[in-house]
Amino acid sequence: MSSKEKNSVTILTESQLSSRAFKDEAYEFYKELRKSQPLYPLSLGALGKGWLISRYDDAIHLLKNEKLKKNYENVFTAKEKRPALLKSEESLTKHMLNSDPPDHNRLRTLVQKAFTHRMILQLEDKIQHIADSLLDKVQPNKFMNLVDDYAFPLPIIVISEMLGIPLEDRQKFRVWSQAIIDFSDAPERLQENDHLLGEFVEYLESLVRKKRREPAGDLISALIQAESEGTQLSTEELYSMIMLLIVAGHETTVNLITNMTYALMCHGDQFEKLRQQPDLMNSAIEEALRFHSPVELTTIRWTAEPFILHGQEIKRKDVIIISLASANRDEKIFPNADIFDIERKNNRHIAFGHGNHFCLGAQLARLEAKIAISTLLRRCPNIQLKGEKEQMKWKGNFLMRALEELPLSF
């Protein structure tokens, strides 16, 4: 989007927000929004009218605002037209990310025991083994595409083992995950995504049948047991929860590992500082989360009660979308916000969200990134970007900030 186009646009569409062109210039666009139009109008097709939030303080306020709901059934009456959904999506939307209290609390409680600090630390040796095994495969070649060879397989192997699902299906999960996070309303994409999600539902049905017959010590078996004992999970909730854990369990971490490595490759002074002072790794991860937030835009929130923000009435049924990427570059909160500084102090980024929907897997993502990046720098000290940084392409994706690939030589 050129400067002239930015100035002339009065309403952004979903397709614009999802485009590669937008991703390339998003940070400059957000900067202008924070200055002059922190509440920006959106046209979201079947979802209706929406607003894009770009300032940090507004994001913090709205992420905790009880007037905003994640479950549209808490906003729309039975007589009102509800947003159109893909047919296959009905079985995959009853998860905690789309729920409000008290349902959200019930669903979150069922899985949070698997993501406690103690449980996550027990995975450290396993994650280290996976990282070393992946590098063993590519190191003789002196080259790899970080996304395909390292950043994607590491977290998908971890979450697959936690859930008790076959590793050989991980490429299917990659395709299905992209269909789930694709917000495109183009007819051909809708048809294709509907087909892919139908495949995913069939897969989950088969997987759950097998786990019912042969329960094991994995998270899916535990969820089924909870369902059968206390009728706490409906069938749709069970499928939706498994889907969410698969998708959220790897998608954010893929982007964190990739985006952090890319930032280090583009900022040689910070890369060298981290190599010389590995004790800065935790701080570097937090800065990577802020600088290139893996989740660029939040999933939608529906306005249940009208309210005023920046002199504008937000009406009932309006959609609110918060740019975590913009909030994390807010100059009023982060001095020199566009500078990648691995020693940044008081880094109050919201890359994992805020409030009730703060990412359940944040600790796991941080540990996976710490092991992945530390192992990469230790074993490949001469690693460098293969090609020019300007050649790297951001995916056209509504929710995520993700690179298509990241070629590295060492």
How far apart (Å, rounded) are the C-alpha atoms in residues 310 and 55?
11
pLDDT the model gives residue 184? 65
- Residue 379, classified by CB atoms within 10 Å of its CB into exposed (0-12), middle (13-18) or buried (19+), is middle
Overall average pLDDT of the 123-127 stretch: 97
Q: How much is the mean pLDDT over the chain?
A: 91
pLDDT the model gives residue 82? 67
Residue 194 sits in a domain whose CATH number is 1.10.630.10
pLDDT the model gives residue 232? 67
DSSP 8-state secondary structure symbol assigned to residue 296: -
Listing DSSP states for 318-367 in one string gives: -EEEEBHHHHTT-TTTSTTTTS--TT-SS----TT--GGG--TTHHHHHH
Q: Is the pLDDT of residue 285 over 80?
A: yes
pLDDT the model gives residue 129? 98
pLDDT the model gives residue 180? 82
Q: Is the pLDDT of residue 6 over 70?
A: no
Higher pLDDT, 111 or 145: 145
Task: Provide the residue range defining the domain that includes 55.
Answer: 3-409
% residues pLDDT > 90 (the chain): 71
pLDDT the model gives residue 14? 86
pLDDT band at 177 (very low <50, low <70, confident <90, very high): confident
pLDDT digits (tens, 9 = 90+) for 146-174: 999 999 999 999 999 999 998 888 888 88
All residues at 6 or more sequence positions from 26 whose CB lies less than 8 Å from its CB, including other chains: 296, 325, 326
Overall average pLDDT of the 343-366 stretch: 96
Q: Is the pLDDT of residue 105 over 50?
A: yes
Q: For the chain, how many structural domains are there in total?
A: 1
% residues pLDDT > 70 (the chain): 93
pLDDT the model gives residue 261? 98
Least confident of 75-84, 128-137, 370-379: 75-84
